Structure 1
């Protein structure tokens, strides 16, 4: 795996979690609109589940998925941060942390570090080479 792909894993997992959180909100909103039919009866010994029950089960399952993904994200960020801390240049470390741990845009990174975008991309290229060396030694 190339350095940029390795570092970007956390960004993509974070986006995946955010998508699931949006889906959870949509399901919660939908569950509040579901009506319960109290006239349903058991027929032939089959258990009939209500739309409300189905919605709640889906919400619970999605909540568990989100929690599992958050656990993975925390572990992944910790691992990536350990790798970033092995980079010798502090400027490269700060850039990598801002971009791949904090998820900041290139404009925000450039502004916070006081560099223009082309300088940020040059430092980023240097940092990626260092990370690639570190990951190939692991």
Structure 2
């Protein structure tokens, strides 16, 4: 695994958590929808669930919330690990660039502004930081 792939793990996990949170919002909206009652004489499927629709939605919400809690725990551990690895760098500018990029999820322009440096300088520092960064085995 390259240093960049290792560092990007937290960003990807954070994005996955946000996707799951949007799924919870979707199921919350679905749980408030009211379905109409059918009065036709069609025979019912004996294998169909008898739970109300909102109950199934609430079950889905609980399932996703448990997954999110698990992923948040993983993210906390991963971010701590990444932060510790960044602290091992001797150059403070390299530490800052990696923290801004991979811990704070800043854009290149934001990093350049915070460091009061050009984009080219930020890219140079980032490249050097990746060269000096050691990925745990």
Q: Please classify the TM superposition score into its range, dividing by the shorter chain length.
A: 0.7 to 0.9
The change in CA–CA distance for 1:54 and 1:73 in structure 2 (over 3 A counts) is: same
Richer in helix (by share): 1
1:26 is aligned to: 26
Q: How many pairs align?
A: 132
Offset of 1:49 from its aligned partner? 1.7
2:11 is aligned with 1:17: no
> TM-score under structure 2 normalisation?
0.87
**Unmatched tracts of structure 1, length 5 or more:** none
**Unmatched tracts of structure 2, length 5 or more:** 40-44
Q: How do residues 50-69 of structure 1 correspond to structure 2 at under 5 angstroms? A: 50-69=52-71
The Cα RMSD (Å) is 2.2
SS of the residue aligned with 2:135? helix
> TM-score under structure 1 normalisation?
0.87
Offset of 1:116 from its aligned partner? 1.1
Bigger RCO of structures 1 and 2 (CA < 8 A, at least 6 apart) = 2
